[in-house]
Amino acid sequence: MTQTLILAADIGGTFMKFGLFEESGKLIHRWKIPTNTADFGSNILSDLVSELRRVFSEEGLNPINLKAVGLGVPGPVTGGHIVNGCVNLGWKRVDLSEECLPLLKKAGFPDVRVSGLNDANAAALGEFNRGDVPGCDLVMITIGTGIGCGIILDGKLREGAFGSAGEIGHLMVNPSETKVCRCGKKGCLEQYAAAECIRRKVLKRLHLPDNALTHKELPPLVLEDVKEAGEMLGRALAAISCAVDPGLFVIGGGVSESGDTILEPIRESFLKHSFHASHDATVRLASQRNDAGMYGAFYAALATLKNSRTTEK
């Protein structure tokens, strides 16, 4: 029997994380490389294909067996392959299929389907399939440079009527805010809970100038740094809960690496603001930690592959 291989990639602003999977879900090789965001990220997809070629050659794998590539990207994706701008990668509109397929063909991979999805949606899919309670509806929140959110209801990733389901970074949590968010509104969750706001709190606590450290160079966070972020995240979770009442909220992304320091204030605020019937909802850290996105990209690629087989029949 021919072996079917699937590449999943979580393309972040700093690193690209790769997983080469068998169709069964068995991970056979994993590695990461820095993301080259120079020239509007124009080398990202060719770097990805070069890496694939290198690994297939080193591992003695047959390129004909690569059947699908799934890409998680930090921006909105429509139709399963059109990226509508990724600030952190330097991308404007990118059609992943159109750009990847010729590169893959040229590199000797003749039979591949390419699909993409938003990185928070990928993380949600990863947790849904591989988390502590596989198959449980969930709301995944990734706290990093921005606030990402992927929502799975009735087993299905929610896209929304205008592709903006999960845009909770711009959910208004503070009507008294006077500063304007980059979206033009005031009081958005992202104004309190994104990595940049937390970085500023840390520097203030340490009495350091505003440009002393990047958010990747921060010392371990303490409660004071994330208290406001937790309060505002809890308000957003409570609002989501009043609307669709999911049983599970999963917290991921870079800031979630501070563990209970960020989790506890979120839980406290959620209990304060949510309707009593939903108090038993679970709020926990991603069980796949930073691999949730890579696993989710695999499940998206697997679905595309299965779908293509049905269509080709």
- Residues engaged in binding a copy of itself (CB under 8 A): 137, 139, 149, 151, 153-154, 156, 158-168, 170-176, 183-185, 235-236, 238-248, 272-273, 275-278, 280-281
Residue 99 burial by Cβ neighbours in a 10 Å radius (0-12, 13-18, 19+)? middle
Residue 304 Cβ vs a copy of itself, minimum distance, rounded to whole Å:
20
What is the DSSP track for 102-144?
HHHHHTT--S-EEEEEEHHHHHHHHHHHHSSSTT--EEEEEES
Residue 197 Cβ vs a copy of itself, minimum distance, rounded to whole Å:
17
Backbone angles phi, psi at 133, to 5 degrees: -125, 80
Residue 104 Cβ vs a copy of itself, minimum distance, rounded to whole Å:
31
Residue 143 Cβ vs a copy of itself, minimum distance, rounded to whole Å:
16
Contacts (Cβ under 8 Å, ≥6 apart) of 195:
143, 144, 145, 215, 254, 255
Nearer Cβ to a copy of itself, position 51 or 159? 159
| Ramachandran assignment for 28, one of left (phi > 0), alpha (psi -120 to 50 degrees), beta (any other) | alpha
What sign does the dihedral 151-153-158-160 (CA atoms) show? negative
Residue 123 Cβ vs a copy of itself, minimum distance, rounded to whole Å:
16
Backbone angles phi, psi at 16, to 5 degrees: -110, 125
Nearer Cβ to a copy of itself, position 29 or 273? 273
Residue 252 Cβ vs a copy of itself, minimum distance, rounded to whole Å:
17
Backbone angles phi, psi at 101, to 5 degrees: -60, -45
Residue 61 Cβ vs a copy of itself, minimum distance, rounded to whole Å:
39
Nearer Cβ to a copy of itself, position 100 or 197? 197
Nearer Cβ to a copy of itself, position 54 or 279? 279
Contacts (Cβ under 8 Å, ≥6 apart) of 156:
none
Residue 227 Cβ vs a copy of itself, minimum distance, rounded to whole Å:
15
Write the single-letter amino acid at 234.
G
Nearer Cβ to a copy of itself, position 206 or 242? 242
Write the single-letter amino acid at 86.
C
Nearer Cβ to a copy of itself, position 273 or 284? 273
Q: Are 116 and 73 in contact (CB under 8 A)?
A: yes
Nearer Cβ to a copy of itself, position 97 or 241? 241
Nearer Cβ to a copy of itself, position 4 or 84? 84
